[in-house]
């Protein structure tokens, strides 16, 4: 089975490097003119990886991995749906579409082809690219197809664990980005590691509350795509979302060219929470903070002044 990866950002290029060590891969990127990957400087792709800016060169692939930013996925599918529809698709992005409130698999399901899957979990692109051991969740509603994809995409150091709970896997990967921004704010504002631990714990409870309201399974959120990813992204400056939160907490500027999916996800989740009367204090505070409607001091005070209650 020939694999094509659509999207040559850091994660797409890292997957190309990892999977290219096992066989031929096509890596497509808009405007990609060579083998140098801006987001992963120094990465040397295996010779088995064909790098192209011509989407037609992916037509011979039997399996497509879509590593397109979440907020661009809907438009990409609308523009290229006919080219994508007949083949297995794996979404490799995290978040909730700001316009529709849909996750990546729900967007891909509009094409009507084989059941799409999502690849998510605790991973930094740089680690995957150089072959460090990494474990991810592959979620697909069709378990037989999921087992096939699991076998095809696993490598000796990239271990995939299978699930049929697509909603849980998607929401774990999306919501942890919101909590990572909040964790970054906590550290950036100088509140300390104890406060971060409290934020992560209450943030996880909020993730679970939101996911269960959307028919996800609790055990999925306790796994790699939820708890595992939360721990990674809330504790490392390699996380773009955590770094963005650090900048907010310190009152510093942040590179506007850097994708911070948690910002859009916070807005979408806060809006859904209002319509469904869900208690989502961290997501609501992050959404207001990134929109400039409250200050860091006000965001912290809003959380610290909440009523005491039983855990």
Q: Of 109, 131, 164, which one is at a domain's C-terminal end?
A: 164
Number of domains in the chain: 2
Same domain, 52 and 157: yes
Amino acid 33: pLDDT: 63
Same domain, 89 and 159: yes
The CATH number of residue 13's host domain is: 3.40.50.720
Same domain, 146 and 192: no
Model pTM? 0.94
The reply, when asked if residue 309 is annotated as ligand binding, is no
DSSP string, 42-101: T----TTEEEES-GGGGTT-SEEEE---HHHHHHHHHHHHHHHTTS-EEE---S--TTT-
Amino acid 36: pLDDT: 73
The reply, when asked if residue 35 is annotated as ligand binding, is no
Same domain, 207 and 134: no
226 with 121: CB under 8 angstroms? Answer: no
Query: Tokens 């051991």 label which residue?
Result: 133
The reply, when asked if residue 241 is annotated as ligand binding, is yes
Query: Tokens 């299978």 label which residue?
Result: 162
Instruction: Indicate whether 169 belongs to any domain.
Output: no
Range of the domain at 263: 174-304
Q: Of 111, 144, 164, which one is at a domain's C-terminal end?
A: 164
Q: What is the pLDDT of residues 242-277, one digit of tens each?
A: 999 999 999 999 998 888 999 999 999 999 999 999
Amino acid 179: pLDDT: 98
Q: Which residues are catalytic?
A: 176
287 with 269: CB under 8 angstroms? Answer: yes
The reply, when asked if residue 2 is annotated as ligand binding, is no
Amino acid 218: pLDDT: 98
Q: What is the pLDDT of residues 48-85, one digit of tens each?
A: 999 999 999 999 999 999 999 999 999 999 999 999 98
The reply, when asked if residue 240 is annotated as ligand binding, is yes
The CATH number of residue 234's host domain is: 1.10.1040.10
Amino acid 17: pLDDT: 95
The reply, when asked if residue 113 is annotated as ligand binding, is no
Q: Is 294 exposed, middle or buried (0-12, 13-18, 19+ CB in 10 A)?
A: middle
Same domain, 44 and 157: yes
Around 6, how many Cα atoms within 13 Å sit in the side-chain half-sphere? Answer: 26
Contacts of 174 (CB under 8 A, 6+ apart): 70, 94, 95, 96, 103, 261, 265, 269
The reply, when asked if residue 227 is annotated as ligand binding, is no
pLDDT < 50 positions in the chain: none
Amino acid 37: pLDDT: 77
The reply, when asked if residue 177 is annotated as ligand binding, is no
């Amino acid at each position: 089975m020939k694999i094509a990866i659509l999207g040559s950002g850091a994660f797409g290029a890292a997957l190309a490097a990892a999977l290219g060590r096992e066989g031929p891969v096509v890596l497509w990127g808009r405007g990609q003119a060579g083998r140098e990957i801006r987001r992963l400087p120094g990465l040397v792709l295996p010779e088995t990886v064909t790098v192209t800016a011509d989407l037609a060169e992916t037509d011979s692939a039997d399996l497509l991995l879509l590593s397109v930013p979440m907020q661009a996925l809907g438009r990409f599918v609308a523009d290229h749906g006919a080219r994508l529809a007949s083949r297995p698709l794996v979404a490799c992005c995290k978040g909730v579409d700001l316009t529709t409130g849909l996750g990546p698999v729900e967007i891909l399901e509009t094409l009507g082809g084989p059941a799409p899957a999502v690849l998510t979990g605790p991973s930094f692109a740089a680690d995957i690219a150089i072959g460090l051991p990494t474990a991810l969740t592959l979620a697909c509603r069709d378990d037989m197809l999921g087992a096939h994809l699991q076998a095809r995409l696993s490598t000796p150091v990239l271990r995939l664990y299978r699930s049929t709970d697509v909603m849980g896997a998607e929401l774990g990967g999306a919501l942890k980005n919101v909590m990572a921004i909040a964790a970054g704010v906590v550290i950036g504002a100088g509140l300390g590691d104890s406060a971060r631990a409290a934020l992560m714990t209450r943030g996880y409870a909020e993730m679970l509350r939101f996911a269960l309201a959307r028919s996800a399974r609790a055990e999925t959120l306790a796994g790699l795509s939820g708890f595992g990813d939360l721990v990674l992204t809330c504790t490392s400056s390699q996380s773009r979302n955590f770094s963005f939160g650090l900048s907010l907490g310190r009152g510093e500027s942040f590179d506007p060219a850097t994708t911070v999916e948690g910002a859009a996800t916070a807005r979408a989740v806060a809006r859904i929470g209002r319509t469904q009367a869900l208690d989502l204090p961290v997501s609501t505070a992050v959404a207001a903070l990134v929109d400039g409607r409250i200050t860091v001091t006000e965001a912290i005070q809003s959380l610290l002044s909440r009523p005491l209650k039983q855990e």
